[in-house]
Structure 1
Amino acid sequence: MKLLRALLVVQSLHHVSALTLDVGSTASIKKAAKALADSAMRYYDGDKPGSTPGLLPAAGEFNWWEAGALFGQMVEYWYYTGDSTYNDMTKQALVFQAGPSANYEPENQTRTEGNDDQAFWAFAAMSAAEFNFPNPDPKEPQYLALAQAVFNRQASRWDDKHCGGGLRWQFNPLNNGWMEKNAISNGCFFQLAARLARYTKNATYAQWADKTYNWIAHSPLMSPQYDIYDNIPFTETGCDGPIGQIQWTYNVGSLIAGAAYMYNHTNGSPAWKERLSGLLNSTGRVFFPQQYGGQILVEYACEPRENCNKDQRSFKGYLARWLAVAAQMAPYTRDRIMPWLQKSAQAAANVCTGDPSNVVCGRKWYEAKDDGTRDIGNQMTALSIVQSNLILNVRPPSDVHSGSSTGDPGAGNGGLTKPTDWEATRVMMKADKAGAWILTVFLLAAAGGWGWFLVSEGDEFEKGGFARQYEGSRWHVGVGHRY
């Protein structure tokens, strides 16, 4: 018994040392980011003999996209800290997983890959181009061309025949999700178009960004209060499936980043400022809830209920990364965003335990203790929120004039095509869409547990809010789940 007690005491001591973080100190942030980067990359063995570069081992069929997100994060880690420890394996992963057609459609992922999965690898390549990450060998696919290839592939999948536009969740008809249009696939396509517009200065990308945002804004995926819902199932005869009302951090985050890039690209367009402000208002209401202090990021749909699946465990890391982008691309947002990043980073550090050589982190930052959960998603989210606090210390993303990555506007087995006019192609609905949102509000309010969606916030971002017209809809209102 004495030996057992001694072991328990040793084990307890081993897990009490929290990650040290001073968000006011660049050196402290970099040191904490280093520990978290090391802990995240312990999940990866693709650089070892016999392993596949770019894949996370034994993590299930839906893990390919998360590997893309991880390597995008490692590009950012180098950008923020200057630490090149993981550059070679990151470069290897980005090139290898591009596949034989250099468009992030590798043959071993055809049964599971969706538009959103592909986009996360494109984001990693786009970040590498924007941050002047060390380029691959000239004979290998180049970062900017890879991002352009994905954009061209997805632009060719734009579907005007169902729901008046947008991308399907899946692009393989055999996959579940072929008959859905969801927020993350369209939000990612919008963001990629916006980033390419800013980088290349090519107006066609900006036109696609406008078109995609307009479609999202006039669909049930976005409420008049800029809340972003998850998905719309549809049939060959109409978009009459129940709307997936759940809100996830990465859905609104994808739009925040895209709107911030467009704000920057248009030199502070009032329209993009209003849209970005509206999205930030929604983010504050839903994902920084007052019941947890109002400044700590929470994946509200699953963390309090302790039922986040393996995908959802990393979602809030992407919102953290994209909030940082907004603070950099749209300086007027900094007073709103930086306290969120600082308070959340400190809270995340407080639930990281272990010794300095093996930091492990809990999932729920709003609790003052480690909840004991262990997952690469936990490590990725902690790294994202911590290193995002360096955003104001780094240079802005490069563009065609200052970047070194080689592009190809015709990459992806197709050329860069101009979008058709959105107003001319969208479906004009008969019923009053405003009435549909009144019904939505009623149903959500009646749902009790979903009442948190309806909390309003009055602050300077609400003034002069972006007014939108709704022409009508046949959408049915319901509470659905993507996963």
Structure 2
Amino acid sequence: MKFRGVAAWPALLLAGPACAIDLDITSSSSIQSAASTIAHGMLSYYTGNLTGGTPGLLPQPYYWWESGAMFGSLIDYWYYTGDSTYNDIVSQALLFQTGSEADYMPPNQTKSEGNDDQAFWGMAAMSAAEVKFPNPPSDQPQWLALAQAVFNSQAERWDNTSCGGGLKWQIFTFNTGYNYKNSISNGAFFNMAARLGYYTQNETYFEWADRMWDWVEGIGLMSTNYAIFDGTDDTLNCTQQNHIQWTYNAGVYLLGAAVMWNQTNGTTQALWETRVRGIIGASNVFFQNNIMYEVACEPQGNCDTDQQSFKAYLSRWMAASTKVAPFVSDLVSSYLQTSAQAAAKSCSGGSDGVTCGTKWTVQAWDNTYGVGQQMNALEVIQGLLIDQVPGPVSNKTGGISVGNPSAGTGGDTNPGTPTGQITTGDKAGAGILTAVILVALLGGAWYVDESSDLYDTRETRYGYRLHTMGMGMSTGLDRSSGKMP
């Protein structure tokens, strides 16, 4: 994910009839109808399948990663509803953006691509394999192999030069944020490792998942109460953390941990259950009266274009977690049901009367719109069908996607084997600080001081997920605001 100036979307959606999405959460047909309406609205922003468009790309102000996330939501849409309306454009996009090495490093993105950007496309391919989305032609890269290529290419970027390991946010040194090790990049890697282990039963993936979890926890990006913080500066050897919390960070670790619970037993499984329950417990900060909201930016109305979509991923992965760890259902169902009802009420704007907004807590349209808003509502509503669909498949339970264990490695026969677990010395060297709060967070973002449980804001200029003090990064690098005219 990168910085870019504001690019305004045409003022297509102003005032309209307040008819809203009609949603009965007890009716499968009502849920499917609502999801269909919202998906149609989301695709109205996509031009990649039109003459002159580039398959897989959303227009400005949307970044490449969000395109991959959107196609992941459409894989979910087919999985939940059986509606194949969008399957062709999903397959076209996922294959067009693979790049010459079939690892989601396409030439039109490589110079500005981060590990998290690449991972969202890899996770979409992983989902396609897990739900038996129709396979590509045999002469094209296959879903499982694409996910393996992303994972393997990132395993080779494991960075032992600072902080005892971990992945950097950015892939290339010339990009702002290269010295930031953030939770979403490392969490997406953990998520893919666990899911690839489940699908292939290759123990090396599980070893990597364990290694990544230990690193994130050890470095202080995850608190003792399982709150997940945004990131840390490796020029300071990760001794200070940016304590902003985002929904998608909680979600990406939740699904990975749920898969690990599924694939373990005994005391190890009990440990993973504690972790799953802990993440869900810590996620209550993202709910107001059981309605999901982006606590770091929604109250101030300063969510940028990326952040407008983050709730989609917590919704997506909460629902998915219930299929691999059934005890999760009782913990998240009220959150998802109440949020879905509120999201449907937010879909009452625009000239069509069913355009979705950002703030579900107002239970009405809030005069915002875009891909993120549609994707948020789509994922939380279609996820209500989770009990009516089968769980993820594996190579042993009917999986149909062909893999390539050496994809993305330059010819190795297996994903790179971890050189060792994070050590006590690594942890001490990183100076674990789970209660330190970095002040002057940009843009009035919210954070929590665990030592006092007090909430605070800072009325300073917002720059995407970075702060002005102690992180060694430029300030004033705004991303597009996400505010539509």
TM range (shorter): 0.7 to 0.9
Mapped to 2, the partners of 1:74 and 1:442 lie a distance apart of: 39
TM-score by length of 2: 0.85
- CA-CA distance at 1:438 after TM superposition: 4.8
Mapped to 1, the partners of 2:351 and 2:81 lie a distance apart of: 18
- CA-CA distance at 1:341 after TM superposition: 0.6
AA matched with 2:209: A
Task: Give ranges in structure 2 of 5+ residues lacking alignment.
Answer: 1-13, 454-468, 480-485
SS of alignment partner, residue 122 of structure 1: helix
SS of alignment partner, residue 295 of structure 2: coil
Question: Which of 375, 382, 388 is equivalent to 1:387?
Answer: 382
Change in CA separation of 1:438 and 1:424 when aligned onto 2, cut-off 3 Å: closer
- Mapped pair 1:352 → 2:354: no
Mapped to 1, the partners of 2:405 and 2:425 lie a distance apart of: 27
1:241-256, aligned counterparts within 5 Å?
A: 242-256=240-254
Q: Which runs of 4+ in 1 moved over 3 A?
A: 354-358, 423-426, 430-433, 436-444, 447-456, 476-483
* 1:63-120: CA deviation from partner (whole Å, max 9, x where unpaired): 1000000001101100000000000000000111001110000011022210000000
Task: Give ranges in structure 1 of 5+ residues lacking alignment.
Answer: 1-10, 457-475
Mapped to 1, the partners of 2:37 and 2:445 lie a distance apart of: 41
1:194-205, aligned counterparts within 5 Å?
A: 194-205=194-205
- CA-CA distance at 1:242 after TM superposition: 4.2
Structure 2 contact 20–353 (Cα < 8 Å) conserved: no
- CA-CA distance at 1:430 after TM superposition: 6.0
Alignment RMSD, CA only?
2.7
Question: Which of 378, 402, 405 is equivalent to 1:406?
Answer: 402
Question: Which of 32, 35, 40 is equivalent to 1:33?
Answer: 35
Structure 1 contact 439–477 (Cα < 8 Å) conserved: no
Structure 1 contact 68–124 (Cα < 8 Å) conserved: yes
Change in CA separation of 1:149 and 1:342 when aligned onto 2, cut-off 3 Å: same
Q: Which residue of 2 aligns with 1:282?
A: 282
Structure 1 contact 168–181 (Cα < 8 Å) conserved: yes
Mapped to 2, the partners of 1:264 and 1:240 lie a distance apart of: 31
Structure 1 contact 440–477 (Cα < 8 Å) conserved: no
- CA-CA distance at 1:478 after TM superposition: 8.6
Q: Which residue of 2 aligns with 1:218?
A: 218
Mapped to 2, the partners of 1:279 and 1:392 lie a distance apart of: 22
* Matched residue count: 440
Q: Which residue of 2 aligns with 1:467?
A: none
Q: Which residue of 2 aligns with 1:127?
A: 127
SS of alignment partner, residue 258 of structure 1: helix
Structure 1 contact 362–372 (Cα < 8 Å) conserved: yes
Question: Which of 257, 261, 264 is equivalent to 1:263?
Answer: 261
Q: Which residue of 2 aligns with 1:332?
A: 327
1:14-413, aligned counterparts within 5 Å?
A: 14-59=16-61, 63-235=63-235, 238-239=236-237, 242-267=240-265, 269-284=269-284, 286-288=285-287, 292-293=288-289, 295-354=290-349, 359-401=354-396, 402-413=398-409
Mapped to 1, the partners of 2:196 and 2:263 lie a distance apart of: 10
Change in CA separation of 1:313 and 1:131 when aligned onto 2, cut-off 3 Å: same
AA matched with 1:418: T
Change in CA separation of 1:71 and 1:430 when aligned onto 2, cut-off 3 Å: closer
Mapped to 2, the partners of 1:300 and 1:112 lie a distance apart of: 28
Highest RCO, 1 vs 2 (Cα 8 Å, sep ≥ 6) = 2
Structure 1 contact 327–338 (Cα < 8 Å) conserved: no
* 1:261-312: CA deviation from partner (whole Å, max 9, x where unpaired): 111122571111011111111001x101xxx31x110100000100000111
SS of alignment partner, residue 181 of structure 1: strand
Mapped to 2, the partners of 1:390 and 1:88 lie a distance apart of: 23
Change in CA separation of 1:411 and 1:245 when aligned onto 2, cut-off 3 Å: same
Structure 1 contact 250–319 (Cα < 8 Å) conserved: yes
More helix by share: 1
- CA-CA distance at 1:58 after TM superposition: 2.8
AA matched with 1:264: N
Mapped to 1, the partners of 2:445 and 2:75 lie a distance apart of: 42
What percentage of aligned pairs have identical amino acids?
Answer: 46
TM-score by length of 1: 0.86
